[in-house]
Chain A
Amino acid sequence: MKNFEYVRPTTVPEAIAAAAKPGAVYLASGTNLLDLMKGGITRPDRLVDVTRLPGLDRIEHLPDGSLRIGALVRNADLAHDSGFARSYPAVAEALLSGASAQLRNAATVGGNLLQRTRCGYFYDTASACNKRAPGTGCDARGGENRLHAVLGWSEACIATHPSDFCVPLVALDAVVEIEGRGGRREIALEAFYRLPGDTPERENLLEPGDLIVALRLPAEARTFAAHARYLKVRERTSYAFAVVSAAAALRVEAGKIRQARLALGGVAAKPWRARAAEETLAGADPTPAAFRRAAEAALADAKPSGDNLFKIELARRIIVRAFTLAAAGTPARIAALPASPFASVSGALQDA
């Protein structure tokens, strides 16, 4: 690991000033950053430790009915907050389906939003990668790419965003609060991420010194609590990134879908909101045929970036399954294997 200067500011303005310099990065828990630094993928000159900044580790209920989650709230604490899991069950399920218990105990909300792709060529410094070293090319294009993007990718980059947490967040219109040199601003999480285009190294809208201080879920997000699921297919049932995942949420009134929300993980460089699919479900009966139509709409623009044509049909089936589970009702307790489409007991139903 390259050496670096370590600084630990005590206020947000000090942190922003310290991180605005070239080569500086923020350190929270470091569960992704240290891994990247050990591999030489990220080589910062200065680490600005934000873990002691005051006031960023709170979960607050705001007067307008929204929920404000401090950037330093740990993934496990958020997922196991009983009020949170009741109001935003798909978000809690997504959190518990990611990483391991040890990592969830350490990893922060803000860090989760900023984790980097797990593309093997991004991680291998001997490979060409436009994201890691702009202009060098993309070895993933002609390489092992069965897990790569099928939506929103470019010739420059076919990597996917690895987060589970961000998928239901995008479906529920989460907003990111950012403090920077120009003061405070907020951006919808969906708009916060950029698609790769010709500049895959620019993954989001953060400017030098910008610090994510909180995440907000609007009041409307909890109106989906009775019918919200996160479903994730992975190559191992636990402690693995998504091949494809979906967050599906419904507001059902008198047996009809009033409103639907859908976002996909593992398919693009950002958590992928599928608004066209949502529109097909407004006013519809919650039937398998309706969910299949929604799935077709969600993947209408999908195309393989390599040996990953299978992910398109897999995504459609995951969408149908996630909506079917959501329509059946959010279970009282998160399943033993969170977000898994596979039963924990042979022959049993997934949520039995």
Chain B
Amino acid sequence: MTTVRCMLMRGALLVVAASVLAGCSIQPWVKPYERERLADPLMALSRNGLADKHRDHVFDVREASRGATGVQGSGCGCN
């Protein structure tokens, strides 16, 4: 019980610290008008979802690893 209470207290302190940081100290340091470059297709993490999905499928059926690719998909009869 004591361990649970201790963990909750730590969690509460962490969240309070995060709240203070979020609410007071740190402000977004890249303003919306400074993000023009980030909106350029050159800076896109994924430019074509359909093509990325095909490429992901090519690796998915041949490699044991899977997931966290940033490409959304589901079952494919890969076995």
Asked if A and B bind, the verdict is no
Could you tell me which B residues sit within 8 Å of A by CB distance? none
